[in-house]
Structure 1
Amino acid sequence: MASRKRFGIPWPDCNDGLSYDDVVSPSDAGLTLLQFYSTNYKSSAPLQGWLQRIKSGQITVDGSVVTDSDTVLRVASKLVYHRLPWKEPEAPHMIEVLYEDDDMIALNKPSGLQVLPGGLFQQRTVLTQLQWECNNQGSCEMHKRPHPVPVHRLGRGTSGILLCAKTKVARARLASYFADGTSHIGVKRDTNQKIGKIAKIYRALVSGIVENDKMTINQPIGIVKYPGVAKGLYVASQSGKPALSAVEILERNIQENSTLVQVKIQSGRPHQIRIHLSFIGHPLLGDPLYGVDGQPKCLDCDFIDESFAEDGGYQRPTKPVPGDCGYHLHAHKLFLSHPITNELVEIIAPLPTVLQTPDEVKESASMQQTA
């Protein structure tokens, strides 16, 4: 069996830091520097944290460092907050290529690697590795094309197929596929109606023994306030947006009190599979965040720690957050209508051993022996 292409550059010890630009609006004119940042960016740092950042010279006003937190701002002034470099948490850097052509590339994202910048992970992301790979090959500069970009997300702890676009046209069309919903491909014969251009199939290991061989979960998913998650946490909620997951049992392990399942998702809500399986009483084995009923394990979610870390930001939450790993969820198969040619494309990400049935484990071992 031919080995697939892999790429990845080891992460530097520290990233380069970040700069955040603002222009003072008429409504913010007259505020002090401290009022501006502590009001507009509450989720970044508590008031005392912003005071520390100002006094340490991390903010410029119209190009000059300002350390007086009581400086009154004028309309149209340009503000820049310079976030100091930091050592990001450990994350894998090698990525396997599953499929590639002139329009798109499909990656096998390892668990523990974030897709896009966010929180503590600003450099250690799939997006950064794509950019570095493109620059190393020189292909982006030669053809004056940007580096590939992901057209959807996978949770940091989720492994498997991540689809990325190489061109603006492919990006727009693939994004529309996901927006239209997934799980069905083709045309209804009786009405000639298109029923979707992409299908995603996942494997997951859940706690407990699931009784029904097949089931459909259509619990809506909404957002609640939660410490450490600025935009709120996605949970099962009757007032949320529609979401549908089709679950099929592959193996029940009585001894380990776990069930191996296959899941097709028709919608793509954040953390949908984790929430839906939790909702039916079978959260993913090892999931540090979701317990039962599609809710977080901790319910006292109104407390916010006002202490701040060395860089002035909030301390890392003591409660689990969505990016925490430990569960087993893998984007295993993807079928799609090619964004340019409309040909059917099938992409498969090899399964981790823990998500294989006993027969698949034997088959995998046999293939390795004969390779």
Structure 2
Amino acid sequence: MTAHYDLTAAKGGVRLDKYVAEQVTELSRTRIKELVQAGKILVNGKQAKVAYKVEAGDQISVDVPPLEALQVEAENIPLDIVYEDEDVIVVNKPQGMVVHPAAGHPDHTLVNALLYHTKDLAASPEGFRPGIVHRIDKDTSGLLMVAKNAKARESLEAQLAAKSNKRLYLAIVHGNFSEEAGTIDAPIGRNPRDRKQMAVVENGKPAVTHFKVLEQYPGYSLIQCQLETGRTHQIRVHMDYIGHPLAGDPLYGPRKTLPGAGQFLHAAVLGFKQPTSGKWLEFSVEPPKLFQDTVAELRKKRVKQA
């Protein structure tokens, strides 16, 4: 299904691609350029160039067709299946694996592996992420729930929207805390200064993260985070926002950090109601070896709590 947006420019002086990127945050600048060139983005009913300077009052229409050209192939990639029934699959995604195909990652994703494992995956509107109802970043490890049919997709998405499911993460962050726990309630949107990043911005979408400090070490802490919402990069952005960026985070963390293969973030606990029976299901998995080994090394220098 094609998504459609009708925009009215409040002020001028901004390039067309930048203006659309600020208004339709899920579109990358690369994708916007493709849409402009394909005549899917019109200014006052006429095709314009990417570099066109928007004027106040311009009527801009944006049509975003599904990425039908992206063919998703089944690939024989090993999966760590934690649970499976006729409706859902719970999988422990390894660090380094992308969840679904996208520009720059057309294959070797979790979806490619799932398609080899089963033909029963709920269709997705976009076509390239069957079964996927939520995602975790490439370098985040841990638990994901996958829908095998339309009924299951509707149920799991409704639970996510109602915030009735359970998602607990473990993270190693920079710095130490004076408090034992806290809540970060700060809206998240695209960083206007860097399109690759998300940020806490005034007009962002509501985002709430609860955290609890588990252990503290010299310069680092082990925390548990519970998501109330599921914004892109939410934990990474929120922890950076309060001055405790994730160790190893290439986008939001400092360069001087713990050696690893990306941010030390692990989706450790996942709970939800089974779509057919309504029975509560809850699963937990240990972090990957690198995460555990890093914690073991940090514990040798553990900071004693007062």
> Fold match, TM over 0.5?
yes
Correspondence for 2:244 among 278, 282, 302: 282
Distance in 1 (alpha carbons) for counterparts of 2:149 and 2:103: 28
**Alignment gaps of 5+ in structure 1:** 1-40, 51-80, 86-91, 141-146, 182-195, 298-323, 362-371
What whole-Å deviation, never above 9, does each CA across 1:241-294 have from its counterpart, x for those lacking one?
Answer: 11111100111012xx210000001011111000111111010001111148xx
The answer to whether the 8 A contact 1:332-1:351 is kept is: yes
Structure 2 CA distance for partners of 1:122 and 1:288, relative to 1, 3 Å? same
The answer to whether the 8 A contact 1:332-1:350 is kept is: yes
What letter matches 1:108 in structure 2?
N
Distance in 2 (alpha carbons) for counterparts of 1:354 and 1:244: 28
Residue 270 of structure 2 aligns with which residue?
334
The answer to whether the 8 A contact 2:141-2:288 is kept is: no
Distance in 2 (alpha carbons) for counterparts of 1:242 and 1:161: 23
What whole-Å deviation, never above 9, does each CA across 1:13-33 have from its counterpart, x for those lacking one?
Answer: xxxxxxxxxxxxxxxxxxxxx
Q: State the percentage of identical aligned residues.
A: 33
1:271 aligns to 2:207 (yes or no): no
1:200 aligns to 2:172 (yes or no): no
Normalising by structure 2, we get a TM-score of 0.65
Q: RMSD of the TM alignment (CA)? A: 3.5
1:180 aligns to 2:144 (yes or no): no
1:251 aligns to 2:215 (yes or no): yes
Structure 2 CA distance for partners of 1:242 and 1:346, relative to 1, 3 Å? same
Distance in 2 (alpha carbons) for counterparts of 1:286 and 1:154: 16
Structure 2 CA distance for partners of 1:44 and 1:267, relative to 1, 3 Å? closer
What letter matches 1:114 in structure 2?
V
1:43 aligns to 2:43 (yes or no): no
Give the deviation of 1:180 after TM superposition: 2.0
Distance in 1 (alpha carbons) for counterparts of 2:222 and 2:205: 27
Correspondence for 1:163 among 145, 152, 159: 145
Structure 2 CA distance for partners of 1:340 and 1:259, relative to 1, 3 Å? same
SS of equivalent residue, structure 2 residue 115:
helix
Q: Which has the larger radius of gyration?
A: 1
Correspondence for 2:222 among 233, 255, 260: 260
What whole-Å deviation, never above 9, does each CA across 1:64-88 have from its counterpart, x for those lacking one?
Answer: xxxxxxxxxxxxxxxxx9x999xxx
Distance in 2 (alpha carbons) for counterparts of 1:116 and 1:110: 13
Residue 238 of structure 1 aligns with which residue?
202
Distance in 2 (alpha carbons) for counterparts of 1:172 and 1:46: 33
SS of equivalent residue, structure 1 residue 290:
coil
Distance in 1 (alpha carbons) for counterparts of 2:136 and 2:200: 19
Deviates more, 1:216-225 or 1:275-284: 216-225
Structure 2 CA distance for partners of 1:353 and 1:325, relative to 1, 3 Å? closer
Structure 2 CA distance for partners of 1:45 and 1:279, relative to 1, 3 Å? closer
What whole-Å deviation, never above 9, does each CA across 1:295-339 have from its counterpart, x for those lacking one?
Answer: xx9xxxxxxxxxxxxxxxxxxxxxxxxxx9511101000111111
Equivalent residue runs for 1:15-30 within 5 Å: none
1:102 aligns to 2:89 (yes or no): no
Distance in 2 (alpha carbons) for counterparts of 1:328 and 1:133: 28
Normalising by structure 1, we get a TM-score of 0.54
**Alignment gaps of 5+ in structure 2:** 1-27, 38-66, 122-128, 300-306
What letter matches 2:189 in structure 1?
G
Distance in 2 (alpha carbons) for counterparts of 1:46 and 1:245: 34
1:214 aligns to 2:196 (yes or no): no
Give the deviation of 1:45 after TM superposition: 9.9
The answer to whether the 8 A contact 2:133-2:156 is kept is: yes
Distance in 2 (alpha carbons) for counterparts of 1:42 and 1:291: 24
Correspondence for 1:119 among 83, 94, 103: 103
Give the deviation of 1:179 after TM superposition: 1.8
Structure 2 CA distance for partners of 1:148 and 1:105, relative to 1, 3 Å? farther
SS of equivalent residue, structure 1 residue 43:
helix
The answer to whether the 8 A contact 1:221-1:269 is kept is: yes
The runs of at least 4 aligned residues of structure 1 exceeding 6 Å deviation read: none
Equivalent residue runs for 1:48-87 within 5 Å: none
Distance in 2 (alpha carbons) for counterparts of 1:160 and 1:130: 16
Structure 2 CA distance for partners of 1:169 and 1:205, relative to 1, 3 Å? same
